[in-house]
Amino acid sequence: MIINIAIDGPAGAGKSTIAKRASKELGFIYVDTGALYRTVGLNVLRQGKDTKNPDDVIPTLEGVDISLRFVNGEQRVFLGEEDVSEAIRQNEVSMAASNVSAIPAVREFLFSLQRDIAEKNNCIMDGRDIGTVVLPDAKIKIFLTASARARADRRYKELVEKGQDVDYDSILADIEQRDYQDSHREIAPLKQADDAVLVDTTELDLEGSIEYMLRVIKERL
């Protein structure tokens, strides 16, 4: 029996980090759907196109090769033969991902790839609409969130530790803008599925968040 776990939530809630650790503990495949949208956004930006304009974005999908591969036991994201796992984490790419994800053709383009992985593997898949649209029959659904300020704090510290010169207020503004865009788009808006468990990590550190998530999953498996 194939078991799918869907994790949804806003930008910066720690979905990728927490889901990656949980999948390793459970022996499941981890699928970061946000990375797929980021890669589409990166590809559009590199071509100098407007990430909000469907007429600019849709032609970039023709012939583009986006894949998830495991390298030394770690999931990496490829655009063609280029490993873009680091490049897609830039702030401008985050906003580009939010923009392109509102375009139906982009969602359709990535939908079959996500579904195909889930049909063949026990997996934890995270994103914005996994429990509501991509995997509506997932055995376990979780809505992972934290306050906007808590998410901005985490992102700021992460970027500073990487040596980047960043402005906290700009990061907070970006997160709030993404929250609004993701929850108000016409196609598959960000929302908690009716049967999803709410996991709020505002007051938790990373290890506490992972323990909380694993406890919720194991209670329901």
Q: What is the pLDDT of residue 36?
A: 93
The mean pLDDT value for 72-89 works out to: 91
CA distance 17 to 126: 10
pLDDT digit string, tens, across residues 62-79: 989 998 887 887 778 999
pTM value surpassing 0.75: yes
CA distance 115 to 134: 7
Radius of gyration over alpha carbons of the chain, in Å? 16
CA distance 139 to 29: 15
Q: What is the pLDDT of residue 188?
A: 84
